[in-house]
Structure 1
Amino acid sequence: MAVRIRRSAAVATVAVAAVTLLAAGCGANAGDDDEPEQRSFALEGRTLTVDSDDSALELVAADVDEVKVTRWFQGSVVVGGDPKVTWAMKDDKLTLRMKCSGVVADCSAKHRIEVPRGIAVTVKDGDGSVRASGFEEALNVRTGDGSVHVKDSSGPLTLRTGDGSVTATGVDSRRVDVHTRDGSVRLGLAAVPDRVVSRSHDGSVTIELPADATYRVDTETGDGSVDVSVPRDERSAHEVSAHTRDGKVTVRTAN
């Protein structure tokens, strides 16, 4: 009987804690961290890989000599181990991890990563949005669940997300390859590209291109309209491919 009472009391405690969190507006927000941590990591070569399991990421090409990371974190666990975040650099791979598990766990992390100019970057994020700006070298972004937003970049772009929208604006990239399983795609190119490939399983695709060139355009949608208003030429060296299974496809000149 004593064991049953103790177990019942423990369950009741967890239930009360869960109700308390919900009543207080449960939902940790890393932006509420008023004292973010900072650390710099030396980079040996000319490439950087960022491996994150569960964090919103912001990457910026900056006038720095090392990779500078700013970290915001908020978390609480009622029953379980203390929540924590870790960071480490090895062989030019920056690994970011968050531990947050228990009966009632609520955590949120955000990282801002300043990267020396002239560095090619690969991002692998398990769960979280990714924003990047200012990159002149190749940028390869893959996230399992979250939006991807790139601006003011000129290197080749490869952007992938399992669930989220993809946006690239003000980019001078000559080669752009985008794929999302569930979300819209919007690409705004400031320079005439050599090749643009965009795929969405469920979402609209909009590509804006400079008007001072002709394009070889290939479009397809399973359920939606197609609107192509750029100058077209099947012999053009500038290839644009826009496909979606469900949504409108628009290829137009930039305003």
Structure 2
Amino acid sequence: MARSVPARVVAVSGVVVALVAGLAACGATAHDDKDPEHRSFPLQGRTLTIDSDDSALEIVAADSNKAGTVEVTRWFQGSVAVGSDPKVTWSMKDDRLVLREKCSGVVADCSADHRIEVPRGVSVKVEDGDGSVRARGFEDALSVHTADGSVTVTDSSGPLDLKTGDGSVRVSDVSSRQVKAQAGDGSVVLELGSVPDRVETRSGDGAVTIELPRATYRVTTETGDGSVDVSVPRDDSSSHVVSARTGDGKVTVRTAN
């Protein structure tokens, strides 16, 4: 004779299924946090490393009212139906700002955003495990590496080193002389306002588009599967070097209108 499933087990299973379905229908978003937290962290030197495991980041070079401080605003929404309560932490040690999110369980749904205001004159390095990164206003070196998420940089003039494992890279309103941009799976778009000394771009799977001021460039292109369109003036002896490579996608190097 077949054994019957206890009614309590069936009821609990039904609740879990309902919770999963409910969370899937309306996932958490940090934008729903109407009461964000704010904190100031002291910064002694001229460099800052931002170490984040799972958060969207907005990083701004700003004239801070407090000299030598990094101002951080945090938005967070999260729920865990079966498991430990979700938690976010932030801390600064030396020149390293560490942002962490703990959100695990049978039914877990969390979302975090951070806005980080950095004093001008500070070089910034970003290490993000999962999340998009937006940065603007930097006159000093900026390095952004994220495993999963788009990278967007605007209104900057310092050297740029940008990399994402899965997502697009977009640079606009930038006068940097040195630009390195890499996307494992996504497009790369650069719109440069000043003649650069060196530009290196690479995409594993996505189009590469570089828009440059009028000048003569030494251009190298490569694509595994896609067309190539180079319309800027070219000279193999030029000191302005541009490299555009993609495994699968179109390569465009053109003069800005």
- Shorter-chain TM-score bucket reads over 0.9
**Match of 2:48?**
48
Shift of 1:10: 3.2
Task: Determine which of 154, 161, 180 is the counterpart of 1:177.
Answer: 180
Q: What residue is the counterpart of 2:222 in the other structure?
A: 220
What's 2:147 paired with? 144
CA distance in 2, matches of 1:20, 1:240: 50
Shift of 1:15: 1.9
- Tell whether 2:13 aligns with 1:11: yes
Corresponding letter in the other structure for 2:156:
S
TM-score (norm: length of structure 1): 0.95
1:5 CA drift (Å): 5.6
Once the 2 structures are TM-superposed, how far is the Cα of residue 243 of structure 1 from its aligned partner? 0.4
Residue 8 of structure 1 and its aligned partner are, at CA, apart by 4.3
C-alpha distance in 1 between matches for 2:211 and 2:163: 19
Q: Which amino acid aligns with 1:222?
A: G
Separation of aligned partners in 2, 1:146 and 1:216: 31
Which residue number in structure 2 is paired with residue 129 of structure 1? 132
Residues 23, 109 of structure 2: 8 Å contact kept: no
If the length of structure 2 is used for normalisation, what is the TM-score?
Answer: 0.94
SS in 1 for 2:97: strand
- The yes-or-no answer on 1:233 pairing with 2:242 is no
Q: CA deviation at 1:16?
A: 2.6
String of CA shifts for 1:174-225, please: whole Å, max 9, x gaps: 10011111000000111111100000010000001110x2100000111111
1:83-122 map, 5 Å = 83-122=86-125
Find the aligned partners of 2:38 and 2:229 in 1 and give their Cα distance: 47
Q: CA deviation at 1:6?
A: 5.0
Shift of 1:116: 0.1
Q: Deviations over 1:94-114 (max 9, x none)?
A: 000011101110100000000
What is the CA–CA distance in structure 1 between the aligned matches of 2:33 and 2:200, rounded to whole Å? 39
Partner of 2:244: 242
Please, which runs of 5 or more residues in structure 2 have no aligned partner? Answer: none
Q: Which letter does structure 2 place at the counterpart of 1:103?
A: V
Residue 242 of structure 1 deviates from its aligned partner by: 0.1
Question: Counterpart in 2 of 1:73?
Answer: 76
User: Residue 253 of structure 2 aligns with which residue?
Assistant: 251
> Would you say the 8 A contact 2:57–2:131 is kept in 1?
yes
1 CA distance for matches of 2:178 and 2:156? 11
Query: Is the Cα contact below 8 Å between 2:135 and 2:152 reproduced in 1?
Result: yes
SS at match of 2:14: helix
CA distance in 2, matches of 1:204, 1:20: 37
Deviations 1:78-128 (A, max 9, x none): 000001111000011000001110111010000000000000000000000
Q: Secondary structure of the equivalent of 1:152?
A: strand
Provide the residue aligned with 2:31 in structure 1.
31
Distance 2:98 2:226 in 1: 41
Q: 1:16-74, CA deviations, whole angstroms, 9 ceiling, x for partnerless residues?
A: 3223334xx32111011100010010001000000000000000000012100000000
Q: Which residue of 2 aligns with 1:154?
A: 157
SS in 2 for 1:21: helix
Letter in 2 for 1:249: V
The one-letter amino acid of 1:247's match is: G
In 2, Cα distance between equivalents of 1:168 and 1:189: 8
The residue type paired with residue 253 of structure 1 is: T
CA distance in 2, matches of 1:55, 1:49: 15
